[in-house]
A and B are shown apart, each in its own frame.
Chain A
Amino acid sequence: MQGSVPEGTSSEDVEIQVPAMAPTAATPAVAQAPAVMATAGPATIRIGVDVLDQLLELIGEVVLGRNQLITRHREDPVFKGLSRSITRLHQHVIRTRMQNVGVLFERYRRTVRDLSQQLGKKVEISIDGGELELDRTVLEGLSDPLTHLVRNCVDHGLETAEERSLAGKQVVGTVSLRALHESGQIMIEVEDDGRGIDHERVRVKIVEKGLASIEEAAKLSEKELVGYIFHPGFSTRDVANEVSGRGVGMDVVKTNLVRMGCAVEVSSRPGKGTVVSISIPLTQAMVNSSVISGLIVGIGNHTLAIPQMAVNEVVRLTGEDRRERIEKVHGREVFKLRDKVIPLVHLEDILGIPRTYLTAVGEIGKERRGHLFDRRGGAELDSHDERRRGADRRMRSELLIVLHYKHNWFGVLVDRIVGTEEIVVRRPPELLKGRRVFAGSTILGNGTVSLILDIGGMVEMAGLDFSDRSRVLSAHIGRSSNPEVEQRVVVFSCAEGEYFAIPVNLLSEVDRCTVDDIRRVGSREFIQRHGASIPLLRLDKHLDITAMDPARRSFVVLTPSRLTYPMALVVGKIEGTLVLGEDINTKEADEKGIMGTFFRDGRLISLIDIYSLLHKSDPDRYRTDVRQSLQQCRILLAEDQLFFRQLVVQYFRSHGIRSVLAVVNGREAIEELARNPTGYDVVVSDIEMPVMNGYQLVSMIKSDPRLARIPVMALTSLEGEANMQKGFEAGFDAYEIKLDKDKVLRCLDRLLGTASARNGE
């Protein structure tokens, strides 16, 4: 079943660690260092891999069956109990095949120490992201290639102490091993801060080895040159030594990794160092039958799933958008998305199928235009199109899915969006292994078998080259490429001169519509979206602002994400996006619905608080009942993003909770708790934070007898059952997704209720 990973069918066993004592629900498993696990001496039993695989296969089927029943029995308490057990069973079965990357990384401490002594170099190793979990067989498969890469760093990459001090660098060289999540893929990076790859030397070597002529070699770009180190028998080191460098290294590394379904990339800056990044596709990195959230899309008569974690937003294109926002650069289509220009690709091209469009009667016909850009009657139309000139019968409203891959954005055009679903990921069948665009397959709730798209594979098939070029450019513009630390907002206006902003990540869709798309029932307005009618909200009805020009015919519709009762804002025009600074003035935000104001380029921009606005617009529906006693509770909030910090604080305050202290990371939270252990009734913490993350924070709280009684709620953007489970295992008492605020409050109520009951015993 896991054909790409070399494994025996029945002879291979997995050691399963069985904790000697029965585990309690709050065992802080995540924060434990691997070394601790080893010394704890857990009992182990040997189980054949085939048994585990069958177990995984079966539990996958059980979860699928459960998912198909969910809609029918949502309210049935027996079913709910069963469903929870299934989720937990699934997690446990998955865990039998999972292991921390840290376990593998730690092995290289010794490699680096021994090797650096042998070579007389001063080298440190830095390990990051060790808590990430991978399938054990994949981890084993990575072991040899990583050994080679680490040895390469120490031997070839890093200079001797003398060379380093001459070059004005720190005497001690560093080898960094990193593991990170990236658009549903796992990236493993091996980096050294050594001499880098000498491009000219590679060029000479290429000619010497007869791999290219002098003229050809002269034309090779740096990226292409670096790629040659994966050629069989290629080594720029003249003397092969016993450590590494017999010139049979990198090609074997690459072959082995590619066989596992990984992609390998090298980038190097002379004098600064080299990074080798290995990207492991979703289904390889994850255990078979894991569950992820997928965006289900349709193209022609095919249904496909896109991992939700790679999706930035969905844009609906009108005919006008197609004319105005899609342009060509060197024959390639690009899309103007606010202040960005992103490559536009057709899903049909990626899949290798003919482009289709839906005709007026909903039938599927062959797309006859070469590109969306080809306006009818344009010079590029073929004779067939000439004959069909006339009224455009196409009804297809194109949907553009904006995806990201290693901080680069691109847009993919699809026919329809079916919805989002928690999907059970299955490895792709052997017969489809050659198609890198497919990460795996799944069976949807309605029984449809759907293939899961791999973002890396899509980028590859679309011929997108997100090389250093673009990265250098974005660094040049001075933008941080880390989406975790910056808070991007969409700026829009309704009437001239009044500007508003909403955080991008609170919106699920940004759409255009015309006055004809809006349906009216009395004073209420609705719009049709994905087969449902959604109420529209006009800002001027609830805030003291200038109304939109009644003669206005085209609007922008902003759909907030994660609403129990979906609704959308209708506004005039999008002005662009910008990154929120620390300069928000919240003092003046006395009006409900406005969180604060800030100045940018001479404009005063008001930050909208969607949730208070909703509450104001329809108090009955968006109301949350809060117990009087809840208002007395004292909250410690750990959140690194300024925006969310203010949002959450303000939200609590708006419900009468006065005592909220906000800190910016786990370290500050634990210090505050140490100072004042009885000062707080509840801790609300983000998970992804610098210095000390939420997992570490909660395990410290729960292991401190003075603090263990304080309930801790995770308030995070990490969705999905797996993350939730991980959170509970780390010790969180509750897990809520930013920013379903009603649920947050209800959850708080529940937590404090149970906490006081427990403490009152």
Chain B
Amino acid sequence: MEYAAFLIGDDLFAIPVALVQEIGKPVEIFPVPGHDARVAGLVNLRGRTAVALDLRRALLGPEAIARCRERCKFIVLETTSTLPRQARELGLDSHCETLVLLVDEVHGIVDGQRLEFHPPPAHVGERHVEGVMKLGDRLMTLISIPHLIEDLMPRKEELS
């Protein structure tokens, strides 16, 4: 499987490239008042409204965020229904609506077959960390989008 690798601060992260619809330049983000800061806001994707996730806040700790510089790229994800069949056959899943990931920089596309894959370290509790891969002498964290969204979803008791 191929992965889209991106940088947030100095850290490398990756998601399966099949989930990526397009990578683009940032457009204006309209923040949602009083909402979880991991949701950066809403964006106008050529007439379609999409939620943009601030991956810095979702993936990094506060000290790491402070070190980040102002570089932003948009990764637009496929929705569950537009996911290519091959991706679904591999057990990949996305969100039911179009999502935009805000990342600092896109690193490139890497072929997973040549990389060593390790399960998440025992002391990493976050469910959205699916594993760690070695890219040269750097470590790259594999992110699970469904788990990431699950963490951001309003919980049942808040709904009622």
Contact = CB atoms under 8 A, between A and B. Distances in A.
A binds B: yes
Nearest to B155: A434
B33 A430 contact: no
A352 B49 contact: no
Interface of A: 1, 3, 9, 50, 57, 60-61, 64-65, 255, 258-259, 299-304, 351-353, 426, 429-435, 438, 441-443, 447-451
Interface string B46-81: 111111000000000000000000000000000011
B35 A432 contact: yes
Interface residues of B, number: 31
A434 B152 CA distance: 11
Secondary structure dominating the interface of B: mixed
Nearest to A424: B47
Contacts of A64: 47
B153 interface: yes
Nearest to B98: A429
Contacts, number: 85
A424 to B, nearest CB: 9
Given A431-B149, A449-B43, A351 B51 contact: no
Given A434-B159, A449-B42, 9 more contacts: A3-B96, A61-B46, A61-B48, A299-B33, A304-B33, A434-B154, A434-B155, A447-B28, A451-B33
Contacts of B35: 432, 435
B78 to A, nearest CB: 14
Nearest to B95: A430
B145 to A, nearest CB: 12
B134 to A, nearest CB: 33
B94 to A, nearest CB: 12
Contacts of A258: 159-160
Interface of B: 28, 30-35, 39, 41-44, 46-51, 80-81, 95-97, 149, 152-155, 158-160
Contacts of B44: 443, 447-449
Nearest to A350: B34
Cβ-closest 5 pairs across A and B: A434-B154, A352-B34, A61-B47, A351-B33, A449-B42
A140 B152 CA distance: 29
27 contacts: A1-B96, A3-B96, A50-B81, A60-B47, A61-B47, A64-B47, A255-B160, A302-B33, A351-B33, A351-B34, A352-B34, A429-B49, A430-B96, A430-B97, A430-B153, A431-B97, A432-B39, A433-B153, A433-B154, A434-B154, A435-B154, A441-B42, A441-B49, A442-B49, A443-B49, A448-B44, A449-B42
Contacts of A431: 39, 51, 97, 149, 152-154
A450 B47 contact: no
The residue in B31, B149, B155 that gathers the most chain A C-beta atoms within 10 A of its C-beta is B31
A204 to B, nearest CB: 26
Contacts of B31: 301-302
Nearest to A302: B33
A60 B95 CA distance: 21
B47 A1 contact: no
A442 B41 CA distance: 13
A689 to B, nearest CB: 39
Contacts of A442: 49
A50 B32 CA distance: 28
A3 B34 CA distance: 22
Contacts of A50: 81
Contacts of A353: 33-34
Nearest to A450: B30
A64 B31 CA distance: 21
A302 B47 CA distance: 19
A426 B51 CA distance: 13
A329 to B, nearest CB: 26
B146 to A, nearest CB: 12
B24 to A, nearest CB: 16
A61 B45 CA distance: 11
